[in-house]
Amino acid sequence: MSQKYDVVVIGAGPGGYVAAIRAAQLGLKTACIEKYVGKDGKSALGGTCLNVGCIPSKALLDSSWKYHEAKDGFKIHGIDVKGISMDVPAMIDRKDKIVKQFTGGVSTLFKANGVTSIEGHGKLLAGKKVEVTAPDGTTSIIDAENVILASGSVPIEIPPAPLTDDTIVDSTGALEFTSVPKKLGVIGAGVIGLELGSVWRRLGSEVVVFEALDTFLGLADEQIAKEAMKTFTKQGLQVRLGARVTGTEIKRKQVVVSFSDSEGEQQLTFDKLIVAVGRRPYTENLLASDCGIDLDERGMVFVDDYCATSVPGVYAVGDMVRGPMLAHKSSEEGVMVAERIAGHKAAMNYDLVPSVIYTHPEIAWVGKNEKQLKAEGVEFNVGVFPFAANGRAVAGNDAGGMVKMIADAKTDRVLGVHVIGPSAAELVQQGAIAMEFGTSAEDLGMMVFSHPTLSEALHEAALAVNGHAIHVANRKKR
């Protein structure tokens, strides 16, 4: 017997599960189909983000940072700790428990909101029908008034570095090392490569990051990217720019990496190699040939500003559509689509999706950077405040980096906030809130900020935009 739902969601990552919950909250009869099976062999909700992405990587970043602090950062506080050691399997076990807690949490939320959770592979057929292949291979058809595609993305594989069982791995494999590799290679100096490279560097690996491009963190503000490169180099992360990996060979459980850079063809040998060259939309066996969905030239499902596909009543959200591959972008698209299906006039502000790199110091930004504004011919003022002049950062022995605010020269409206430093992600979110409400740098400068807080660096950067910073010499005096 065919079942009928108001909304059927394919994929339970941050795009899909959030869309399903919001749709159910709005009174729509909703089902969500998910096929993911975790490393314990059991089906799990939460997608890439909860199982092998945001959450497990942050668990390892936090564990490795604590180890690094205990080993090298406590002395300055007068704390003398001897016999520090790292139990990697215990760290991985803690990470797995956190993943289970959160994926189980999605299951609980589905029950609480009345979302029907369906295990299996979903495929969109013509006429808004969805075929479900259950784990035992049996198939059934679900009728849907609306379908939300949210099948996410998978790591890109490159011919010079085919994955092996446990020597050449992707980001998922890099979350499962059972010991610290003595020498670790990483291909790709993007967000994922830098975060995972940092985890293992802090635990003692010698890390080389190969980046084919000549520029470092091309999407970040240039001043922030320059500061990041300086800091990572000091931390011992060797980032080789203009270095393209051209081949790999496994020799006695090690991997010989061939690469070409300005000095010609070279080779380096590693115990492990992480391939972190980006992700591609995942649409395998998702779309029947007659379902009518258009893909763009990168294989992404083609959608409009409201995530509507070329088929009325079928939407797509998250990593499988245009825009940054970020969990919060996916989730907000999920909410927007659910609300539009329920008849609300929801829209999303794509100009204010914050970006974060969870290294230490963190790097985060929202809005435009200097280069983008120059290209657009916009005149702007810049205010920069270094954490070295922020009491809270210095007290915490974490005073590297800066807050940089950019505001329109004519209207003083804040156009971008760029931070490298402690709690950069949280500080940038303050900037995002301010920008959402069209705040000027002067407005922020007139607000009272608690002392001593890291947030004062944002306050001072806002003041510096118009030459009024108190705790640093102003570039321009007014």
Concatenate the DSSP letters of all residues of 80-106 into one string.
---S----HHHHHHHHHHHHHHHHHHH
What is the Cβ-side half-sphere exposure of residue 113, based on CA atoms within 13 angstroms? 24
Closest CB 238 distance from ligand AMP, rounded Å? 14
Q: Which of residues 347-406 bind ligand FAD (CB under 6 A)?
A: 358
Amino acid at 254: Q
Kindly state the tokens that stand for 438. 């069209």
3-state helix, strand, coil in the chain (%, to 5): 35, 25, 40
Question: What is the CB neighbour count within 10 angstroms for residue 433?
Answer: 12
Name the binder of 152 from ligand AMP, ligand FAD, none, CB < 5-8 A by kind.
ligand FAD
- Integer distance in angstroms from the first to the last C-alpha of the chain? 75
* Pairwise CA distance, residues 338 & 18, whole Å: 9
**Nearest Cα to Cα of residue 458 among 395, 372, 384, 355:** 384
Minimum CB separation from ligand AMP for residue 209, in Å? 9
Q: What is the rounded CA–CA span in Å between residue 478 and residue 476?
A: 7
Site string for ligand FAD, 327-356 (x = CB under 6 A): xx-x--------------------------
- For residue 194, CA distances in Å to 177, 184, 209, 280 come to 17, 12, 8, 19
> Does 318 help bind ligand FAD (rule: CB under 6 A)?
yes
Q: Which of 412, 401, 447 is nearest to 221 (CA)?
A: 401
Is residue 171 near ligand FAD by the rule CB under 6 A? yes
Q: Which is nearer to ligand AMP, 210 or 315 (CB)?
A: 210
Residue 49 interacts with which of ligand AMP, ligand FAD, none, CB < 5 to 8 Å by class: ligand FAD
* Count of chain residues binding ligand FAD (CB under 6 A): 35
Is residue 280 close enough to count as binding ligand FAD by CB under 6 A? no
272-275 and 279-281 strand pairing = unpaired
Q: For 69, which DSSP code?
A: I
> Would you say 284 or 305 has its CB closer to ligand FAD?
284
- Give me the least distance between CB of 276 and ligand AMP, in Å please: 6
Catalytic residue among 68, 451, 459, 468: 451
Q: Are 328 and 400 in contact (CB under 8 A)?
A: no
What is the widest separation between alpha-carbon atoms in the chain? 75
Please state whether 120 falls in left (phi above 0), alpha (psi between -120 and 50) or beta: left
In the complex with ligand AMP, which residue's Cβ is closer, 276 or 427? 276
Min separation Cβ 153 and ligand AMP, Å: 11
The answer to whether residue 68 is catalytic is no
Report the partner that residue 245 touches, choosing among ligand AMP, ligand FAD, none (CB closer than 5 to 8 A by kind).
Answer: ligand AMP
CB of 161 to ligand AMP, least distance (A): 7
In the complex, minimum distance from the CB of residue 210 to ligand FAD, in angstroms, rounded to a whole number: 18
Give 50's contacts (C-beta < 8 A, 6+ positions apart). 13, 14, 44, 99, 102, 103, 106
Which residues, in sequence order, are CB contacts of 234 under 8 Å at separation 6+?
A: none
The 36-75 contact track toward ligand FAD, x by CB under 6 A, reads x----------xxx---xx--x------------------
> Which lies closer to ligand AMP via its Cβ, residue 67 or residue 210?
210
Binding site for ligand AMP (CB under 6 A): 158, 160, 187-192, 210-213, 244-245, 276-278
153 binds, among ligand FAD, ligand AMP, none (CB under 5 to 8 A by kind): ligand FAD
Give whichever of 31 and 465 is closer to ligand FAD, judged by the CB atom.
31
Residues noted as catalytic:
451
Chain residues binding ligand FAD by CB under 6 A are 10-16, 33-36, 47-49, 53-54, 57, 121-122, 150-153, 171, 192, 282, 286, 318-319, 325-328, 330, 358
